[in-house]
Structure 1
Amino acid sequence: MQHTDKIAFLGLGRMGAPMARRLLAAGHPLTVWNRTAAKAGALAAEGAVAAARPADAVRDADVVITMLTGPDALTEVADAVLPALRAGAHWVEMSTVGPAAVHALAARLDGRATLVDAPVMGSTDRAATGRLGILAGGETEGVAHVLAHLGTVTRTGPTGSGAALKLVANTAALGGVALVAEALRLADALGLDEDTARTALAAGPLTGAVARAFAGDAHFATALAVKDLRLATGAVRLPAVRAALAQYARAAEDPALAAADLSRAAARIRTHA
C-alpha cells in the first residue's frame, strides 16, 4: 500500500473528528460517515467526501477505521458495512469495545479483510496533534503508515489484545478517579483543607488519577466510563471496580452528567454518598 490509500473513517465524535482531520491533512483520500450527518460537514468542507451510509463510505476503501461509542454501535455498523467491504481491505477498529467484540468482528470477517484492533490512549488534544498512544493487536504492517499520523503504536500481541489492554488501562484509570473523589470526601468529613489534601494525594501513588479528577482540558463522557466499566465487570469478578461502576452509573442518571467529562462525575462522587 502507498501513502495515498483510500480511507473510510466511520464515527466523527470528539475523538474521531480530529483523528480523521489528521489523515485528511496527510493527503489520504478520505470518505467519512457519522450517524449524525451534520458532524461530517466540517470535514467535507475541508476536502473529505461525506457518505450517506456506512456501506457507501467503505465500498472503495483500502483502509476502514471505526471510532464508535461501543460494542452495539460496532455491531450495527458491521451489519451495514460487511456486504460492501472490499476483499483485501484493512479494518482498523479504534473504539473501546473490549476483546469479545473484536473477536466477534474477526469471526464475521473470516479472513476477507485484515483486522487490527487499535484503541487509543489520550484525549482530544492528543488526537488533534497526532500524539495518541495506540494499542495495536494483530498484524499492523499494512496500516503502520496510516497509524503513524495518529500517534505512537505499541504492539500488544494477537488480534483482541489491543482491546483487552485498553480495557485494563481504562478500568485502572476510572477506578483511580473514583477513589480520589472518595478520598477527598473523607478529607472533607475530617475537616481538612482541600488544597492540602489534594496536594498530598497528588504527591502519592495516585498522581495521575488526581490530575484526571480535576482535568479541565479533556473530555471523556461519564456515560463512556459506565460503558467501559460494565465491559470490565462483565469479563471477570471485580468487586472494587463494580463499586466504582455503581458510583459512575448513579452520576450518569443525570443526563447532563452522563454527557459531561468524568471530572464532573468525580465531583458528584465526592459530594454524594
Structure 2
Amino acid sequence: MEKIAFLGLGHMGAPMARRLLSAGHPLTVWNRTAGKAAPLVREGARLAAGPAEAVRDADVVITMLTGPEAVCAVADAVVPGLRPGARWAEMSTVGPDVVRELAARLPEGVTLVDAPVTGSTDKAAAGRLGILAGGDADGLAHVLARFGAVTRTGPLGSGAALKLVVNTAVIGGVALVAEAMKLADALGLDEETARGALAGGHLGGAVGRAFATDVHFGSDLAVKDVVLATRAARLPAMEAVLAHYEAAAADPRIAHEDIARAAAHIRNTK
C-alpha cells in the first residue's frame, strides 16, 4: 500500500489519519504541536520531526491545516521534498487562490488535488465525510474514499471554491437561526415552540447545526472562512454575519468552541 504522510492532526486531521492507519497504510504524521501525534504513534504511525521529513518518502501527502497561512508555511518545507510521482491532497479550507498558488510551485511529476471536506469530527471518525475533489483525482480517489463519499467538482481549485460556498451557507444559516431565536425571545415565545417551528421549516438543517453538541467547527475557523468568502465576492449579509462571529471569536471562553456556542453568543448579545 502507498506510504502516506499526513500533516495536521487537529480536530479533523487526527480521526482522518486514524482511518488510514486502520486501513493498513504505512503512515507518517506531523503536527506543529507534536504531542497531538502521540495517540497515533502508539497505534503505529511514525512521527516526523518536520514537514520535509514527513514527505520525503511519501507516495501520498495529505494536508489538513487551519488555513491559508498554515498551508503556505508548510508548503515552503514540503514542496522541495516531494518526489516525482507523488500525489498531494490539500484538504484544508483555503479557497481556490491558494490552491492555484500551490500548483504553480510544484515540481514536474507531482499531482495536486484540492479535496476539502464537509462534515465534522463525528463523521470524520466514522468515515462519512463528504470529499469535494477538484483536479485530477483519479490516482487519489481510493485514498480519499477512506474518509467518505468523493464528489468530483471539476478542475483544480473547484473543490476549494465549493467548500467556501458550502461553509458560507452553514455559517450564515447558524447565525440566522440564532437571530430568529433572539426575536422569539424578544416576542415572549416559548423557546421549544419556536425552535420546533423553525426545525420543521426550510431552515431545519441550520436549526440542528445551531443547537448541535457533538460536532466541532470553531468560531475562529468560521471567521477565517467568511473572510475568504467575502474577499471573493460582495456578500453584504455575510459581512454582517462576520461581525457576529468576530465578536464570538474575540471571547477567549468560546473562540475555539463550536459555532453552536457562537450562536448562543449571538442570541444573548444585547
Give TM class, smaller chain. Answer: over 0.9
Q: Which runs of 4+ in 1 moved over 3 A?
A: none
Please list, as runs of the form range in 1=range in 2, the aligned pairs for 1:260-271 lying within 5 A after superposition.
Answer: 260-271=257-268
Paired with 1:262 and 1:144, the residues of 2 have a C-alpha distance of 31
Cross-structure match for 1:22 = 19
Please list, as runs of the form range in 1=range in 2, the aligned pairs for 1:22-171 lying within 5 A after superposition.
Answer: 22-109=19-106, 111-171=108-168
Paired with 2:109 and 2:255, the residues of 1 have a C-alpha distance of 38
SS of match in other structure, 2:140? helix
Structure 2 residues without counterparts, runs of 5 or longer: none
- Is 1:250 the counterpart of 2:247? The answer is yes
Q: 1:82 to 1:110 in 2, by over 3 A?
A: closer
Deviations 1:177-222 (A, max 9, x none): 0000001111110111101110111111111110000001101111
- Is 1:230 the counterpart of 2:245? The answer is no
Amino acid at match of 2:218: A
RMSD: 0.8
Deviations 1:42-63 (A, max 9, x none): 1111111000100000000000
Paired with 1:19 and 1:248, the residues of 2 have a C-alpha distance of 27
Which of 161, 168, 185 aligns to 1:188? It is 185
Paired with 2:17 and 2:162, the residues of 1 have a C-alpha distance of 23
Deviation for aligned residue 1:110: 5.2
Matched-pair contact (CA < 8 Å) for 2:79–2:107: no
Over the matched positions of the two proteins, sequence identity in percent amounts to: 71
Aligned pairs, how many?
A: 270
SS of match in other structure, 1:116? strand
Amino acid at match of 2:146: H
SS of match in other structure, 1:32? strand
Matched-pair contact (CA < 8 Å) for 2:168–2:226: yes
Q: TM-score, normalised by structure 2?
A: 0.99
Structure 1 residues without counterparts, runs of 5 or longer: none
Deviation for aligned residue 1:146: 0.6
Paired with 2:2 and 2:114, the residues of 1 have a C-alpha distance of 19
Amino acid at match of 2:228: L
Paired with 1:57 and 1:255, the residues of 2 have a C-alpha distance of 33
Cross-structure match for 1:210 = 207
Paired with 1:127 and 1:91, the residues of 2 have a C-alpha distance of 19
Q: TM-score, normalised by structure 1?
A: 0.98
Deviation for aligned residue 1:111: 4.0
Cross-structure match for 1:177 = 174
Matched-pair contact (CA < 8 Å) for 2:91–2:116: yes
